[in-house]
Amino acid sequence: MKKMLSVLLAGVLMLTVSGAVMAQEAGYVASKGGTKYHFATCSIGKKITADKLVKFAAPEDAVKAGYTPCKTCNPPPTSDAFVATKSGGKYHKQGCKMLGNTDADNKVYFKDAAAAEKAGYKPCGVCLKRDASK
């Protein structure tokens, strides 16, 4: 009985790990024949049926395939895109602690710093510190 329980537990653990790896590999999804790509966690992306599901590891892959970002979950256009909040005045590197738990619908992405600055945002003093010697 103990051995069966160990085997069962090992199987569940393997499924959990493989599911996490699959979710990590496909951080972005789209529908065959569609025009938008989504975070894999997007409510719209979750509705795509298995026969139409296209998975992407990076947003660049989705853009290369001809998809544009979903307006609901607002995924970034590139992995290194800068992000700002609609109500803030600073732009950040993705993952900056100053963004906290900002909702996806309150984020705006920019392909580069120049685009963020053109939109009126200033660099974050935490993640984008300027070289003090300049």
Domain residue extents for the chain: 26-72, 80-134
* Residue 68 C-alpha from the chain's centroid: 13
Q: How many CB atoms lie within 10 A of CB 88?
A: 17
Task: Read off the pLDDT band of 3 (50, 70, 90).
Answer: low
pLDDT for the residue 74: 86
Please give the model's pTM, rounded to 2 decimal places: 0.62
Which run of H or of E encompasses 53?
strand 53-56
Cα separation, 41 vs 84, in Å, equals 21
CATH class assigned to 80-134:
alpha beta
